[in-house]
Structure 1
Amino acid sequence: MPESTEPLTPRARLAVTAGKAAAAVSRAAGRGSGSVIGGRVALKVDPDLLGRLAGHLDVVLVSATNGKTTTTRLIAEALRAGGEVVSNALGANMPAGITSALAAGAKARFGVLEVDEKYLHAVARDVSPKVIALLNLSRDQLDRAAETRMMADHWRDGLEGSPATVVANCDDPLIVWAASASANVIWVAAGQEWKDDAWSCPACGGVLQRPDEHWACGDCGFERPSPTWQLSGEKVVDPHGSTWPIRLQLPGRANRANATTATAVAAFFGVPPQTALERMFSVTAVAGRYDVVTHQGRDVRLLLAKNPAGWLETFSLIDGAPAPVILAVNARGADGTDTSWLWDVDYTRLAGHPIAVLGDRKLDLAVRLEVAGLEFTVCEDLAEALRVSPPGRIEAIANYTAFQDLRRIVGN
């Protein structure tokens, strides 16, 4: 169990109360959950509140370009076998949202927290995590996010000298570069389908050789470390060579990889793989992702894809029968306003699928699909997209704010 700490100071208690009040006002006004504004108000009252709220917790931080929210949810479910968990389950992953989440965890043992890549170092400094899980790094929000190599360097600087144990994906060279600065690393072979951001060596700039699953730099010798845990088909292989079947209600290889990392994290805290994986089976959706909803008489599965790597993983979920597809893209603040990443996505994977296009940047997406040689229909709204889609369950793939728009429309 974590060590007990002193009760919150009067200032900290006032900050928590003010934050909860601000969140309640936001919810009453229909402005969302209020977690972000609540956290901002609380941190204004007590700038040290985040560390105070985490003081009694065994904290796990999860960061990556893709898969943070799902992996955080899976880890939280696994660790509930060992005690109460507080988590930012809805994905508010900057300091304000994390502060709001922790304010509800006075009786918890574990804090399982998704953290935006840019804030990992700052949050880790404040909450003193026991474990940091690093999944992947790839291009995302190019107008406001650091280039992937810069982000890896930033993580590496932050991890140097950290007492936290890092659970890291050894198949992503950028993750290995960042995690190698830590003295305590558990390597997980979780795979890397998107490789376009990891062809050059992050240590020296040389070309990485990838003859098979192993990768190495021929110039400086930087190479893939041997994993302690690994994903093998639909099983987790533990450090002793024992295999454990992964049975999830979440689809796809990426989620099996997330479950493998979550199993390794849970084992660090003494939760056996079988127990951890059994608990993960209870997760059916994550903040609306993968939900199948019925709207206007049509079944629609909601899928989130925010960047080229995410779209590639999502396409793998709809391979096979040519189900109708709705693609929705916005470019608002939370998405990043630069849509040049559309040209990095291999939309030819959608050949044969009837495609409807909508969203604020539907014309940008339409140009990209036309260049890819695909047939599609540009629609003004979801109602029109449903009308033009042929029979069958519809796969709706959207980036962040477009996904939230769809959820509001279908009442999910």
Structure 2
Amino acid sequence: MSQLPLRAQLASALGRTAATLSRATGRGDGSVIGGRVGLMLEPDLLRQLAADRRLALVSATNGKTTTTRLIASALRQLGEVATNAFGANMPAGHVSALSSAKDAPYAVLEVDEKYLPEVLDTTQAGVVCLMNLSRDQMDRAAEIWLLAQKWRRALASRPTLVIANCDDPLVAWAASGAARVSWVAAGQRWREDSWCCPECGGPLDRKGADWACRECAFRRPTPSWVLDGEDVIDPRGQRWRLDLQLPGQANRANGAIALATVAAFGLEPGHALLGLREVTSVAGRYTTVERDGRSLRLLLAKNPAGWLEAFDVSDPALPIILSVNAQGPDGRDTSWLWDVDYRILMGRPVLVTGERRRDLALRLYVAGVPFQLCDSFGQAVAVLPPGRIDVIANYTAFQQIRTEFGRAE
């Protein structure tokens, strides 16, 4: 790392102080306020902090926090890594992450989908990972085809290496204009947002994992990396068993993307897997917490695609608590609940809580899924007998539960 200009050093130091005070006073983890203070004093701070680092940006609708953690864990075998481990994925969070590890030669930053063009332009990152695009926070997020178009424009003619999921047509279209792309067949279980060709609007024909437009030449690129069950096949045809401690198909997809990304930094899959297998929980996701003889596993689901993956991880033999809010970070429009097929919960004890529990209760009623409505999360836990319980919550509901249990990692 080159020496920062004096103004940037001062801005970075004051930002770290603000972050420390935020943590000490219990106002938060400091990952946003520290960056805001730094950027107020030096608006160009993100560019200066990113200079001379080997930097990867990770963006998607779902899985970017987990994939960022996996990549960072693997890269630590090469040296210190700066990363926004708790999901503060806008420029203020990026500044905080880079300031807190100002001498780290490597950086892995999760980036909000809308901010990716801006952050890429500012940081000149050498690697960008694109995993999936689906509907999310519909009252305030850009329409996903517009996001794909912005990604495509941002990547055009750049020397950046793009690691992209070729199984998602929107991601493939966004990445196809880049100068260098490493395609990964990471899978796409949620397909309701990609039945039409982003190039011409025609219908996409699908056969297994393959897809192609019926009316133009746009089709699934040929992958270099392939997720095949529990294994990842690398560009040389060698198989690598993932054996991640994180559960589910979605995390195996995240692991495949992570392996392809760290390979761009020169780390072989056999060595990278050692780091990937160390990750057991990500900002509270998949953590098990205890209360009064009950073991509660915490799962996060923010949108229809995320609920599909949470159901995949959830144990159908266990009772389940569902909690939904509609605060600013969640999006205030809960109409997305009607895109989730809750019939998979049939036969399980289902308890419903959260600020928008009645919205969810109506959706379950229409789906024919029996449930019990609870005024609070604590009440829902108390209703169930001792034993194992799954919990699925959207973003702010999840954070409230984490806080109640001491923000388990």
In the superposition, the TM-score normalised over structure 1's length comes to 0.97
Q: Which runs of 4+ in 1 moved over 3 A?
A: none
* Map 1:382-401 → 2, pairs under 5 A: 382-401=377-396
Give 2:189's match in structure 1, choosing from 190, 193, 216.
Answer: 193
In percent, how many aligned pairs have the same letter?
A: 58
Q: Does residue 376 in structure 1 map to residue 405 in structure 2?
A: no
1:100-149 superposed Cα distances (whole Å, 9 cap, x missing partner): 00002222111000000010011111111110000000000000001111
Rounded to whole Å, the distance in 2 between the matches of 1:37 and 1:161 is 35
Residue 402 (structure 1) aligned with residue 393 (structure 2): no
SS of structure 1 residue aligned to 2:329: coil
User: Which segments of 5 or more consecutive residues in structure 2 lack a partner in the other structure?
Assistant: none
CA contact (8 A) 2:263 2:269 kept: yes
| C-alpha distance in structure 2 between counterparts of 1:287 and 1:174, whole Å | 28
Distance 1:360 1:132 in 2: 36
> When the two structures are superposed, what TM-score results if normalisation uses the length of structure 2?
0.98
Q: CA RMSD in A?
A: 1.0
Rounded to whole Å, the distance in 1 between the matches of 2:386 and 2:344 is 21
- Distance in 1 between the 2:387 and 2:218 partners? 49
Given that 2:225 and 2:232 are in contact with CA atoms closer than 8 Å, whether structure 1 keeps it comes out as yes
SS in 2 for 1:230: strand
Moved more, 398-407 or 386-395: 386-395
Q: SS where residue 296 of structure 2 aligns?
A: strand
CA contact (8 A) 1:324 1:354 kept: yes
2:28 aligns to what?
A: 32
Alpha-carbon distance, 1:30 to partner: 1.5
1:210-221 to structure 2, matched below 5 A, reads 210-221=206-217
Q: Tell me the secondary structure at the aligned position of residue 83 of structure 1.
A: coil
* Structure 1 residue 270 displacement after superposition: 1.0
Is the deviation greater in 22-31 or in 175-184?
22-31
Q: Secondary structure at the match of 1:289?
A: coil
Matches within 5 A, 1:125-140: 125-140=121-136
Query: In structure 2, what is the equivalent of residue 316 of structure 1?
Result: 312
Unpaired runs of at least 5, structure 1: none
Q: Distance in 1 between matches of 2:398 and 2:161?
A: 34
**Residues 10-89 of structure 1: matches in 2 within 5 Å?**
10-89=6-85
Does the aligned pair in 2 maintain the 1:73–1:286 contact within 8 Å? Answer: yes
Please state whether the residue corresponding to 2:32 is helix, strand or coil.
helix
Aligned to 1:346: 341
| CA displacement at 1:186 relative to structure 2 | 0.2
Decide which of 328, 331, 335 is 1:333's aligned counterpart.
328
Post-superposition CA distance 1:312-369 (Å, at most 9, x none): 0110112542x10000000101111110100001111111110111111001010001
CA shift at 1:171, angstroms?
0.1
Judge conservation of contact 1:72–1:112 (CA < 8 Å) in 2: yes
Counterparts of 1:290 and 1:156, CA distance in 2? 33
1:253 aligned onto 2:249? yes
- The letter of the residue matching 1:60 is A
Give the 3-state SS of the residue equivalent to 1:316 in structure 2: helix
SS for the counterpart of 1:259 is helix
Secondary structure class of the residue paired with 2:227:
strand
* 2:74 aligned with 1:97: no
| SS at 2:163 equivalent | strand
Following the alignment from structure 1 to structure 2, what is the Cα–Cα distance between the partners of residues 369 and 148?
A: 27
CA distance in structure 1 between the partners assigned to 2:184 and 2:208 by the alignment = 17
Distance in 2 of aligned mates of 1:296 and 1:379: 18
Q: Is the contact between residue 324 and residue 390 of structure 1 (CA under 8 Å) also seen in structure 2?
A: no
Of residues 343, 359, 364, the one that matches 1:364 is 359
Q: What secondary structure, in the 3-state scheme, does the structure 1 residue paired with 2:207 have?
A: coil
Per-residue deviation, 1:390: 4.1
Contact 1:62 1:113 in 2 (8 A): yes
Most deviating of 292-301 and 17-26: 17-26
Distance 1:210 1:176 in 2: 15
1:279-324 C-alpha deviation (Å, 9 max, x unpaired): 1111010001000110122100000000000000110112542x10
Give SS of 2:344's match: helix
Number of matched pairs: 407
Displacement of 1:29 in angstroms is: 2.6
